[in-house]
Amino acid sequence: MPGSITSDVIKPPAPPRGGGFGGGGGGSDGRGASRRASMTGLMVLLAATTMAFAAFTSAFVVRRGMSNDWVALPLPRIVWANTAVLLASSILLELARRSLKTGRRTAFNRYWTAGTALGVLFLVGQALAWRQLNAAGIFVASNPSSSFFYLLTAAHGLHILGGLTALVYVDVQALRLRLGPGKRTAVDVSALFWHFVDGIWLFLMALFLIWG
Amino acid sequence: MSSPVVHAHHAPQGFIRRWIFSLDHKVIGIQYYFLALFSVLIGMSLSLLMRYHMVHPDAKVAWFAKLWPTAAQGGIMTPELYLSLMTMHGTIMVFFVLTTAPQSGFGNYFLPIQIGAEDMAFPVLNMMSFWTTFLALVVMVAAFFVQGGPPLSGWTTYPPLSAIGPLAGPGEGLGQTLWIVSIAIFCGASLMGAINFIATLIDLRCQGMSLMRLPLTCWTWFVTAILGLLGFAVLLAAGVLLILDRSAGTSFFIPGGLLVSDQILNHKGGSPLLWQHLFWFFGHPEVYIAILPGMGVTSQVLSTFARKPIFGYRAMVYAILSIGFLGFLVWGHHMFMSGMSPYSAMAFSVLTMAIGVPSAIKTFNWIGTLWGAKIHFTTAMMFALGFVSLFVTGGLSGIFLGQPALDLYFHDTYFVVGHFHMIMGVAAIFGMFAGTFYWFPKMYGRMMNETLGKIHFYVTFVGVYCIFTPMHYLGIAGNPRRYSDFTNFDFLGKLLPVHSFMTQAAYGTAAIQILFFINLFWSMKYGKKAPINPWNATTLEWTVPSPPPFDNFGGVHPVVYHGPYEYSVPGAPRDFIMQTDPPDAANAE
Amino acid sequence: MLLAPIIWVLTVVIMYFFAAKVWWFPPPISQHGLAYDAQFMRTLVITGAIFFFAQFALGWAIFRYRDDGRRATYSHGNNKWETIWTTATAILFVGIVLTGTKIWVAVHLSDPDPNAIPIELMSKQFAFSFRYPGPDGKFGATDLKLVNDAAGNPFGLDDKDPAGKDDIVSASLKVPVGKPIKLIMHSRDVIHNFFVRELRLKQDIVPGMEIPLYFQADTPGTYEIPCSELCGLGHFQMRSTMQVMAEADFEKWKQEQAANK
């Protein structure tokens, strides 16, 4: 009888489904719709982040183009070291992921922890960069170029902090030997987010160097 | 059978987990709905105060002095108080009513069910998005209670007025800062919601629910989420820049050479137009966020009660997509008179006219749905029909405003106020009313009272026409907007009778809303018990109990064989085929 | 159903108030104003027709297709009609904006008239001030630090600059009839807006920008100038007037101002 009662619904053969990262609780195997949903969620988050930085960039370009009071900012030298540290951390995370795929757990733990530690080091380095600018008498309102530098590094730093939270979470789970297949998605999502934020930093460096 | 959502098998225990920090999209949807209801009461009260002041600017009202000892000394509302009330009216209505209930309210409740899923993709994120919105509302309301009161720069917050602090006027101190913080928090909440909606719609559709079988409500929730995702990120960036200008001495938006209250300001080099570009890049998609879900509900309700498929389903989908896409390209039409390049104005104008085309398609298709129909006049249907009429009226005034040549007169007049109130303040609200009457039986297992509903509808329908159509005439007469009183200009004095009429209409229309609240709350407890499918509708929410169980489908995965609006199919045994009916249901048994 | 006649009555009433011009524009005082009114009428006729047709059709459908026992027609749409009304709408909408382009170009994208009389406008919370260059045709230098509203120096004229000695400062805008004017607009605090209804012109005045507005008034009279961009608590009181007078009277006024210095 066609109708609205659930008993009429044909039951399909159930595809393998698991808990995974989707709800923030413990999961079972991480395959199926929830991994897909997590990846979609990540892409969507990256789109929003891109828009925010696009807005800042357009403000940067407009402000630079319209006033003649823009004084080129002397980039603190430590910023180069920070860039190298951030790139290295991304590489280490990728090595970690490769290790996990071939089941080398210890290697994963080492690489991932190292990558996370370098991430923290990046933030410390950025704080030092700010200190160096302060010491040179360059503050947030000193010049539009410095306003944007502080703004963009702060916005980027906040995203690094968010990424670090995910990296540390995965690291803790791994070190406590609780990184089951269900957390695979968490590993991938965190690493991809980190690479993206790394990419944003490279873009910002180019912006400072070429236009700053 | 295990399922993608972790908590599916165990309904939460305990009051806190079930009703306060619930992960259930249905509870979260209701939480958003009631947040919006609370906000609309505040917003409506503010508008009544505004309308009163406009026709009685010198009146002494005793309780004004009690509420606002500084801003209404002696019981007389000062201009700055009027402007603060106006700013908060716009802000609360746009953000906490129109961006919450249609999308996060109904969308949260019904998107997962309509696509055959057990919950949203990220239930914890969903719960966080509601409470973040709640926090934003708390911060916004706090602005009423700080020294100086709420900001007076309008919901559009143009710098330098909003950027130079208390020198610019009362409320521009802590009140403005709280406003910006609240909106920034709201941006975060919206982003969380958008992530959930998009991932859910893309990845959690049940078997057979292809994109072209989605109910139009789902299409609008999907495109609205994308608009919010991209737009709110830019608003957040703009808000950060504004806070820096206000408190860190930067000059993103503040130019040099300013003398305010006898003080020469330190800032230099910034551009007030930069704010306008960033704000309206968000602001225009925002108004489509406000209206699209209402359009989806209208399509859904019209089709159900006309017992006819929606006319031109594909065209409706393309129209929704076009409106979403073009919505990002027209922001400059808010800035025709701003001092931006006249060439840009021309480009924005053509695009603005272009976006009128998919809107017109939707309107023709709604009317086409009614052609040859078999119309049941339930209250939900009345509100959907009212939506169409109001959308026509409100949309057509956009044809004037989209031309920079005509905007040379109409910018910042009541013509604009009439236009956006018709569309947002009325049509979008009617979409919410339609959704409420339509889905109430599913949410509460009881029917709302049709008599109360119809009286409420008729008085509101005529009432809103009486309030907002005269604004167009005022605009033609050149009445500027955001004026707290009209006694300083000869030409404005002549228009006072129109303002009086609108104020009376506003009182009456506001008063009749009491019927809606009585109906809503009374019916929750005492309404007639509702069957599973009281409207004989076709979409998936009408296959599950009222209210639905914790995991919506009781552990079963629905399979969809039909499109969403198969009404009056020739040869079928009944005048509707549900989406989950077997594939050969069109043939008589 | 009751809704149909209600929609029809509302439609007719709304259209009546437009047609009868009960609350309307003031008469235009310039060529631009005439062109403006023509474009407005074109738009009004088109939108009025669509308004009438759409509301009438909606009401008709409500009335004609109310449930009276028949079965509804099963139809998913009609591509022919879809194409027709989409194309018609696109042509109409884009067409109407193109016919208005001439007006926009004339105001903002035409070569400026070299004979236009320059008048400077300075807006602040909450007043407009106007400045004329005087017989030397030059505006004197100004300095923000010298601004003194109470002493009648809203522009901050520097009295060390000889070019400024003959500048005329006025609280209202006085212009000769039939002559092109170039209004050079500044703001010294927040965004304001200059609007004269009879000219059918308005323009935001943005601090940090110098915005010229060209116009020509062809009918003598006094016209109100309401600020039209929210500028703070005094926005509703920010008022000035434009007085359009015969050229002889304008010259006389200028001489009187010069004599009073």
Complex ipTM:
0.96
In a domain, B381, yes or no: yes
Maximum Cα–Cα distance across chain A? 81
**Residue type present at position C70:** R
Please name which of B402, B221, B355, B354 lies closest in space to residue B294, comparing C-alpha atoms: B221
CA distance C147 to C188: 10
Same domain, B522 and B543: no
- Number of H helices and E strands in chain B, helices first, is 18, 2
Return the pLDDT at A180: 78
Please give the structure tokens belonging to residue B37.
């209801």
Domain containing A52: what range? 35-211
Chain A residues lying within 8 Å of B270, measured CB to CB: 63, 67
Q: Do C65 and B152 touch (CB under 8 A)?
A: no
Same domain, B62 and B103: yes
Q: Do B412 and C43 touch (CB under 8 A)?
A: no
Q: Do B339 and C97 touch (CB under 8 A)?
A: no
Q: How many CA atoms lie within 13 A of A127 on its CB side?
A: 9
pTM of the model: 0.94
DSSP chain A: --SS-GGGSPPPPPPP---TTTTSS--S---THHHHHHHHHHHHHHHHHHHHHHHHHHHHHHHHHH-S--------THHHHHHHHHHHHHHHHHHHHHHHHTT-HHHHHHHHHHHHHHHHHHHHHHHHHHHHHHHTT--TTT-HHHHHHHHHHHHHHHHHHHHHHHHHHHHHHHHTT---GGGHHHHHHHHHHHHHHHHHHHHHHHHHHHH-
In a domain, B561, yes or no: yes
CA distance B110 to B564: 14
* Closest chain B C-alpha to A162 CA, distance in angstroms: 13
Same domain, B240 and B366: no
- b/e code B290-300 from CB counts within 10 Å (16+ = b): bbbbbbbbbbb
Return the pLDDT at B587: 61
Same domain, B190 and B91: yes
CA angle C150, C156, C159 (to 5 degrees): 105
CA distance B109 to B17: 17
Distances (CA, A) of B338 to A137, B315, B342, B346: 37, 36, 10, 13
Distances (CA, A) of B550 to B5, B21, B31, B113, B205: 12, 15, 16, 11, 18
* Closest chain A C-alpha to B258 CA, distance in angstroms: 16
Chain A residues lying within 8 Å of B200, measured CB to CB: 37
In a domain, B69, yes or no: yes
Give B151's contacts (C-beta < 8 A, 6+ positions apart): B84, B87, B143, B157, B162, B171, B172, B175, B176, B179
Q: Do C61 and B367 touch (CB under 8 A)?
A: yes
A14/C255: higher pLDDT: C255
Per DSSP, the three-state class of B480 is strand
Same domain, B233 and B335: no
Size of interface B-C (CB pairs under 8 A): 320
Average pLDDT value for chain B? 95
Q: Do B400 and C47 touch (CB under 8 A)?
A: yes
Does residue A141 have a pLDDT over 90?
A: yes
Same domain, B416 and B556: no
DSSP B70-82: TTTGGGPPPHHHH
Same domain, B22 and B113: yes
In this complex, which of B152, B264, B360 lies closest to C145 when CB atoms are compared?
B264
Return the pLDDT at A2: 36
Residues B425-442: what's their mean pLDDT? 97
* Closest chain A C-alpha to B567 CA, distance in angstroms: 14
Report the neighbours of C using a cutoff of 3 or more CB pairs below 8 angstroms: B
Residues C211-229: what's their mean pLDDT? 97
Residues C76-85: what's their mean pLDDT? 92
* Closest chain A C-alpha to B496 CA, distance in angstroms: 43
Residue for token digits 């007085």? C243
Q: How many CA atoms lie within 13 A of C51 on its CB side?
A: 25
In a domain, B320, yes or no: no
The pLDDT-based confidence of A22 (bands split at 50, 70, 90) is: very low
Same domain, B484 and B556: no
To the nearest 10°, report the CA torsion of B277, B278, B281, B284: -90
Residues B253-270: what's their mean pLDDT? 93
Does residue A10 have a pLDDT over 50?
A: no
In a domain, A207, yes or no: yes
B338/A15: higher pLDDT: B338
In this complex, which of A8, A24, A62 lies closest to B274 when CB atoms are compared?
A62
Convert the pLDDT of each residue in B488-528 to its tens digit.
999 999 999 999 999 999 999 999 999 999 999 999 999 99
Same domain, B523 and B540: no
Return the pLDDT at B584: 83
Maximum Cα–Cα distance across chain B? 86
* Closest chain A C-alpha to B124 CA, distance in angstroms: 6
CA distance B416 to C204: 16
Beta strands in B421-572 (DSSP E): none
Q: Do A26 and B6 touch (CB under 8 A)?
A: yes
In this complex, which of A44, A140, A155 lies closest to B194 when CB atoms are compared?
A44
Query: Which of B484, B504, B527 is the endpoint of a domain?
Result: B527
In a domain, B121, yes or no: yes
* Closest chain B C-alpha to C245 CA, distance in angstroms: 20
Does residue A11 have a pLDDT over 90?
A: no
Q: Is the separation of the CB atoms in A84 and A118 below 8 Å?
A: no
Same domain, B183 and B43: yes
Report the neighbours of B using a cutoff of 3 or more CB pairs below 8 angstroms: A, C
Q: Do B408 and C200 touch (CB under 8 A)?
A: yes
Residues B445-463: what's their mean pLDDT? 98
Nearest-by-CA chain B residue for C28: B409
Query: Which of B527, B553, B576 is the endpoint of a domain?
Result: B527
* Closest chain C C-alpha to B30 CA, distance in angstroms: 31
Return the pLDDT at B10: 62
Residues B107-124: what's their mean pLDDT? 96
- Kind and range of the H or E run holding B413: none
In this complex, which of A23, A40, A52 lies closest to B237 when CB atoms are compared?
A52
* Closest chain A C-alpha to B45 CA, distance in angstroms: 35
Domain containing B574: what range? 536-589
Convert the pLDDT of each residue in B13-60 to its tens digit.
788 888 889 999 999 999 999 999 999 999 999 999 999 999 999 999
Residues in chain C: 261
Return the pLDDT at C68: 86
Convert the pLDDT of each residue in B383-423 to its tens digit.
999 999 999 999 999 999 999 999 999 999 999 999 999 99
CATH number at residue A175: 1.20.120.80
Average pLDDT value for chain A? 85
CA angle B120, B325, A202 (to 5 degrees): 80
In a domain, A162, yes or no: yes
Per cent of chain C over pLDDT 70 is: 100
Chain C residues lying within 8 Å of B489, measured CB to CB: 224, 226, 239
Please name which of A49, A50, A51, A55 lies closest in space to residue A148, comparing C-alpha atoms: A55
Please name which of B146, B187, B190, B140 lies closest in space to residue B170, comparing C-alpha atoms: B146
- b/e code B508-529 from CB counts within 10 Å (16+ = b): ebbebbebbeebbeebeeebee
Q: Do B2 and A19 touch (CB under 8 A)?
A: yes
In a domain, A122, yes or no: yes
Residues C181-190: what's their mean pLDDT? 97
Chain B residues lying within 8 Å of C39, measured CB to CB: 403, 405-406
Does residue B553 have a pLDDT over 60?
A: yes
Return the pLDDT at B15: 84
C72/C1: higher pLDDT: C72
Residue for token digits 């109407």? C96
- Among B392, B422, B494, B495, the strongest candidate for a mutation testing the C interface, having the largest count of C CBs within 10 A, is B392
Backbone angles phi, psi at C250, to 5 degrees: -65, -45
Going by DSSP bridges, is the β-strand pair C211-216/C180-187 parallel, antiparallel, or unpaired? antiparallel
**Residue type present at position B82:** Y
Residues A46-56: what's their mean pLDDT? 97
Q: Is the separation of the CB atoms in A164 and A119 below 8 Å?
A: yes
Residue for token digits 């960036």? B237
Nearest-by-CA chain B residue for C93: B353
Q: Do B375 and C1 touch (CB under 8 A)?
A: yes
CA distance C155 to C170: 11
CA distance B268 to B481: 30
Give B44's contacts (C-beta < 8 A, 6+ positions apart): B510, B513
Report the neighbours of A using a cutoff of 3 or more CB pairs below 8 angstroms: B
Chain B residues lying within 8 Å of C103, measured CB to CB: 405, 408
Q: Do B357 and C89 touch (CB under 8 A)?
A: yes
Nearest-by-CA chain B residue for C72: B373
Backbone angles phi, psi at B99, to 5 degrees: -100, -5
Convert the pLDDT of each residue in C112-170 to its tens digit.
999 999 999 999 999 999 999 988 889 999 999 999 999 889 999 998 999 988 899 99
In this complex, which of C17, C204, C208 lies closest to B257 when CB atoms are compared?
C208
Return the pLDDT at A23: 37
Please give the structure tokens belonging to residue A43.
């892409």
Please name which of A181, A195, A179 lies closest in space to residue A92, comparing C-alpha atoms: A195
- Among A1, A8, A10, A169, the strongest candidate for a mutation testing the B interface, having the largest count of B CBs within 10 A, is A10
Please name which of B286, B294, B293, B449 lies closest in space to residue B378, comparing C-alpha atoms: B449
Please give the structure tokens belonging to residue C36.
């403006």
In a domain, A20, yes or no: no
Q: Is the separation of the CB atoms in B197 and B219 below 8 Å?
A: no
In a domain, A153, yes or no: yes
CB atoms within 10 A of CB B541: 23
Distances (CA, A) of C243 to B235, C170, C247, C251: 43, 12, 12, 13
How many folded domains does chain B comprise?
3
Same domain, B22 and B163: yes
CA distance B167 to C98: 44
Residues C217-228: what's their mean pLDDT? 98
Residues A14-43: what's their mean pLDDT? 55
Same domain, B83 and B226: yes
In a domain, A25, yes or no: no
How many folded domains does chain A comprise?
1
Residues B416-440: what's their mean pLDDT? 97
Per DSSP, the three-state class of C182 is strand
Return the pLDDT at B79: 96
CA distance A191 to A39: 12
The pLDDT-based confidence of A29 (bands split at 50, 70, 90) is: very low
Query: Which of B527, B549, B572 is the endpoint of a domain?
Result: B527
In a domain, A91, yes or no: yes
In a domain, A5, yes or no: no
Where does C109-236 have alpha helices with state H? none
Maximum Cα–Cα distance across chain C? 91
Residues A45-74: what's their mean pLDDT? 93
Q: Is the separation of the CB atoms in C198 and C205 below 8 Å?
A: no
In this complex, which of B364, B400, B490 lies closest to C43 when CB atoms are compared?
B400
CA distance C87 to C6: 31
Q: Do B405 and C96 touch (CB under 8 A)?
A: no
Per DSSP, the three-state class of C185 is strand
- By CB atoms closer than 10 A (0-12, 13-18, 19+), residue A5 is middle
CATH number at residue B158: 1.20.210.10
Return the pLDDT at C70: 86
